[in-house]
Amino acid sequence: MKITYLGHSTVHIDTGDYKLLIDPFITGNPSSSGKADSIQADYILLTHGHSDHIGDAEPIARRTGAEIIAIVELANYFANKGLKTSGLNLGGSFPFPFGRLRLTPALHTSSIEVEGTNIYMGVPAGIVLELDGLTIYHAGDTALFSDMKLIGERRRIDLAFLPIGDYFTMGPEDALTAAKWLQARHVVPIHYNTFGLIQQDGDLFVRTLKESGIQGRALMPGEFIQSSELE
């Protein structure tokens, strides 16, 4: 399995049989790696409705035929555009062909701006993926919340993608606490350095993880992790 960071919160997972794309924001993203019209996907997983997480979801889904999986209101928004979707809700899980997906809580907001008006898109979510013997947690945009302890207690988190940008989400200090509560074996920081308001030092964050006995990597856009590195 190849897990590639594409910048901001965008992650591409290639299991060999399936290609999963999380929170595609490539077009207009100054930190992105690659171009939206060259990315392949069988499934597009969305944490919430903000433009820096769904920006390329529709064009990629139309080009590839990918199924969009998201909280039910956000999934319905794309279904009404004629796209294939599955809409889950918090705590819900389902054994998709690629593996089991579960939506977890996230403390944030979720809306789409249409003609200057913000339209509610359901609650934000995190994503837990169980596939090929590994468990991957993508927190989406979130503040620190104590139920992260339960996520870590109920399953071994092999890889966690955690926002560290501060201002809109957790900052590095809270993300470190989240990593400890999750008991994550490996952590990759996301949602930072894309814009001026969320500038952070990813390498410094990784060093603080190491001091707490947690493996971390501050991936540059386009860099990847092989599943063999997580075993």
Domain membership flag for residue 187: yes
Domain range enclosing 71: 2-216
Domain membership flag for residue 193: yes
pLDDT at 108: 98
Spacing of C-alpha 172 from chain mean position: 17
Nearest to 98 by CA among 207, 155, 17: 17
- Average pLDDT of every residue of the chain: 97
- 165 or 34: which leads in pLDDT: 165
Q: Which residues contact 116 (CB under 8 A, 6 or more apart)?
A: none
Q: Which residues contact 207 (CB under 8 A, 6 or more apart)?
A: none
Domain membership flag for residue 183: yes
> What average pLDDT score do residues 216-231 get?
94
Domain membership flag for residue 191: yes
pLDDT at 167: 98
Whether 44 and 57 have beta carbons less than 8 Å apart is answered as yes
CA R_g for the chain = 16
- Read off the tokens for 13: 């997972």
Phi, psi angles (nearest 5°) of residue 95: -85, 85
Domain membership flag for residue 230: no
% pLDDT > 70, the chain: 100
How many structural domains compose the chain?
A: 1
Regarding beta strands 224-226 and 2-7, do their DSSP bridges make them parallel or antiparallel, or are they unpaired?
antiparallel
Residue 125 CA to residue 105 CA, distance in Å, equals 5
Q: Which residue has the tokens 């969320």?
A: 198
pLDDT at 31: 87
pLDDT tens for residues 9-43? Answer: 999 999 999 999 999 999 999 988 778 999 999 99
Domain membership flag for residue 208: yes
Rounded alpha-carbon distances, angstroms, from residue 28 to 8, 34, 37, 40, 199: 11, 12, 13, 19, 18
H or E segment to which residue 74 belongs:
helix 72-79
Rounded alpha-carbon distances, angstroms, from residue 168 to 78, 193, 202, 204: 25, 12, 17, 20
pLDDT tens for residues 90-143? Answer: 999 999 999 999 999 999 999 999 899 999 999 999 999 999 999 999 999 999
pLDDT at 34: 79
Query: Nearest 10 degrees: CA dihedral of 97, 215, 9, 174?
Result: 120
pLDDT at 21: 98
Domain membership flag for residue 229: no
The CATH number covering residue 174 comes to 3.60.15.10
Domain membership flag for residue 226: no
